Amino acid sequence: MSDILIIAGSPSASSKSGALFEHIRQQLAKESLTSRVVSVRDFPAEDLLHAKYDSPVFDEIKKLVENASGIIVTTPIYKASYTGALKALLDILPQTALRGKTVLPIANGGSPAHLLAIDYAIKPVLSALGATDLLQGVYIVEGQLKVDSDGVAVFTDELRARIDDSVARLAANVRPRAVPVSA
């Protein structure tokens, strides 16, 4: 069981995404949280596109979502919206799958023009799945994240601060809160 489930919504293999996930996973580990990445690419396209809700290939992700305390949803922005593959995967989840979860959306786009896609496209879908503890999203603009020759994420200082702050807020929200001792 992982404390945090990272759902990767990109239909293409990208070293940038992998480097970003590795950085996030390291930050979560510093917060003493375990994590796991699941990608839309992990599932047969036919099952996703034909919405085979009862396909056994989705049993594991349903269980991972159910058991996670927090969820990070990542997606590139294409034509002012998240990917269709991500939507197809989210549609497979039960209606209240994100109830009681802290959710952090992260999106990347070619320009700042689609910054509001997080608030106007992604968050409504996450809310429809029961998410009530939705953190402020992180929008990554082309050029803020690169990958060095060793496959390590290289962030602008501003982006690194936003990601690390968001991961710290996620960690603070998912940790069990101490129950006050009554006198």
Q: Collect contacts of 11-19 with beta carbons under 8 A, ≥24 apart.
A: 11/40, 11/41, 11/83, 11/84, 11/85, 13/41, 15/147, 15/151, 16/108, 16/145, 16/146, 16/147, 16/153, 17/74, 18/151, 19/145, 19/147, 19/151, 19/152, 19/153
pLDDT for 180 equals 53
C-beta of residue 98 within 8 angstroms of C-beta of residue 126: yes
* Alpha helix (H) residue ranges in 31-177: 45-49, 59-67, 84-92, 117, 123-128, 157-174
**To 10 degrees, what angle do helices 59-67 and 84-92 make?**
80
- Structural domain boundaries in the chain: 4-174
User: pLDDT band for position 182 (50/70/90)?
Assistant: low
**What value does the mean pLDDT of the chain take?**
91
Distance CA 38, CA 86 (A): 11
Write out the DSSP string of 54-87: T-GGGHHHHHHHHH-SEEEEEEE-BTTB--HHHH
pLDDT tens by residue, 45-101 = 999 999 999 999 999 999 999 999 999 999 999 888 999 999 999 999 999 999 999
What CATH number does the domain located at 4-174 have?
A: 3.40.50.360
